[in-house]
Structure 1
Amino acid sequence: MPLHWVHEHHFPDSPTLVHALSGEIKVDLEEAIGERGACSLVVSGGRTPRALFEQLRTEALDWTKVWIALADERWVETTSPDSNEYLVRETLLQDLAAAAHFIGLKNPAPKPEAGAEWASRALTRVPRPFDVVVLGMGEDGHTASLFPGSLALARGLDPAAVPGCIAVNALTAPHARLSLNLSALLDSRRIILYIEGEAKRHVYLRARVPGTVAEYPVRAILHQRTVPVDVFWAP
């Protein structure tokens, strides 16, 4: 069954995708600044977006009016290479983009369960709805840190929940984590699902088919009809 609110964009290779996606994000943020005086961008970590961040930081924007936040974070020190904040600071918040405002999720709380409320409060500083949310997807169908099999998954995907962060202890992934819940991710004007490789393409195609969100949590993004979704894929 076609998902008419999901638009797919296929590219021959990663550099072509990165160039096109960076340009689209720039246009969205530029328009938001022109209309509302500020804009917001939520990004994910992992290996895939590194090249995108390095390209995006060169875009000519009024970065002083850009707010950047994370879709999820590992509960590690922000100086750790495993930290999403570390990735963003090293690859995105450089050059022109160093002037942007950044709100991280890791905080002084002793555990992510205690840190979730702190992070949710910190995110209230970021203009809402988010103008652009860039999500990735794992080969198990997770997005942000909403993992299949996680005890926190039902709470994270509850469409009636107050938008905010939840603590996640995923049996299939290293480190305890914080993640935006589905309500927070959908408090946005546009969602971009950025994936690369044939393996993830096959997972995405399975997630497009109606089924339980517990099997493939990314289904909650693909099958909602509140926010337009653009899927960017390259081999």
Structure 2
Amino acid sequence: MALVQSLFGTTDALNQAFCRRISTLLKQGIEENGRASLIVSGGRTPAALFGALSQVPLAWDKVDISLADERWVDPSDDASNEKMVRAKLLINHAAAANFIGLKTSATNAEDAVNTCTANFSDVAKPFDVLILGMGEDGHTASLFPCSAQITQGLDIDSEQMFIAVQPTTAPNQRMSLTLPALLKSKHIFLHLTGESKKDVLAKALADDNELEMPIRAVLNNTRVELMWAP
């Protein structure tokens, strides 16, 4: 497992360093390719990071931002990752970025897989920066060990970019990038805070069963940088 660990004493120190790192990588992407791409995850952990990042003076109009996964709820719903990203990241300087949401008008996420894939056709690939989180069960993006779709989502040879997922231990149907789509990233970060998440990661690193803890599938296949604070 190629895990590089960047550990910080406080979340403020983590967010400041992570913000500088992300902005540097996005600037490099713009300089090298004319555009850069940033794929983020939802939840409470990245909110403060997003706020700091939004204030960086960057050519945000040349940055495409989207999500590693999304709950299949209206973007106005409090459970929506898009709602959080719009409130915390797509403000200040970063309001100029091009945001590609995942939720469509389709009632069932399965009917939107092709639309989501088409909407990503112009996003710079490989992604310049991918920020992943991890659940207590070892899921990442919306690749849940409890879901019937997990084997398909972790299929390294799959040509699918997105997969519709129905977890049995969490609410809402989801849309998620597949493992091979996640791996098509220049820089992958695992953003965690708290001792409990560090313990979950230690468990993930102690075995290779990817279906049991899907985060292992990312760690087993590429270089990942852990960004952690208590």
TM range (shorter): over 0.9
Q: Cα offset for 1:209?
A: 2.2
Partners of 1:229 and 1:111 in 2: how far apart?
A: 32
Instruction: Please say if 1:74 is aligned against 2:71.
Output: yes
Q: Cα offset for 1:43?
A: 0.2
Contact 1:167/1:178 (<8 A) preserved: yes
Q: Which residue of 1 aligns with 2:105?
A: 108
Contact 1:132/1:191 (<8 A) preserved: yes
Instruction: Please say if 1:178 is aligned against 2:172.
Output: no
Residue by residue over 1:130-173, the C-alpha shift from the partner in whole angstroms, topping out at 9 and shown as x without a partner, is 00000000111000000112101000000001141111100111
Q: Cα offset for 1:31?
A: 0.7
Q: Which residue of 1 aligns with 2:31?
A: 34
Q: TM-score, normalised by structure 1?
A: 0.96
Q: TM-score, normalised by structure 2?
A: 0.98
Contact 1:69/1:104 (<8 A) preserved: yes
Q: Matched residue of 1:68: which SS?
A: strand
Residue by residue over 1:64-90, the C-alpha shift from the partner in whole angstroms, topping out at 9 and shown as x without a partner, is 100001000000000111100001111
Q: Which residue of 1 aligns with 2:224?
A: 229
Partners of 2:57 and 2:24 in 1: how far apart?
A: 10
Q: Cα offset for 1:116?
A: 1.6
Q: Cα offset for 1:229?
A: 1.1
2:92 pairs, out of 92, 95, 99, with 95
Q: Matched residue of 1:87: which SS?
A: helix
- The structure 1 segments of at least 4 consecutive aligned residues displaced by more than 4 Å after TM superposition are none
Is the deviation greater in 128-137 or in 156-165?
156-165
Partners of 1:123 and 1:143 in 2: how far apart?
A: 20
Residue by residue over 1:111-143, the C-alpha shift from the partner in whole angstroms, topping out at 9 and shown as x without a partner, is 111012211111112111100000000111000
Q: Which residue of 1 aligns with 2:135?
A: 138
Q: Percent identity?
A: 45
Contact 1:46/1:84 (<8 A) preserved: yes
Contact 1:163/1:182 (<8 A) preserved: no
Partners of 1:152 and 1:206 in 2: how far apart?
A: 23
Structure 1 unaligned residues grouped into runs of 5+: none
Q: Which residue of 1 aligns with 2:59?
A: 62
Structure 2 unaligned residues grouped into runs of 5+: none
1:212 pairs, out of 198, 209, 225, with 209
1:200 pairs, out of 184, 197, 200, with 197
Q: Cα offset for 1:234?
A: 0.6
Contact 1:39/1:127 (<8 A) preserved: yes
Q: Matched residue of 1:79: which SS?
A: coil
Q: Matched residue of 1:98: which SS?
A: helix
Q: Matched residue of 1:42: which SS?
A: strand
Contact 1:163/1:187 (<8 A) preserved: no
Q: Which residue of 1 aligns with 2:146?
A: 149
Q: Matched residue of 1:158: which SS?
A: coil
Contact 1:112/1:167 (<8 A) preserved: yes
Q: CA RMSD in A?
A: 0.9
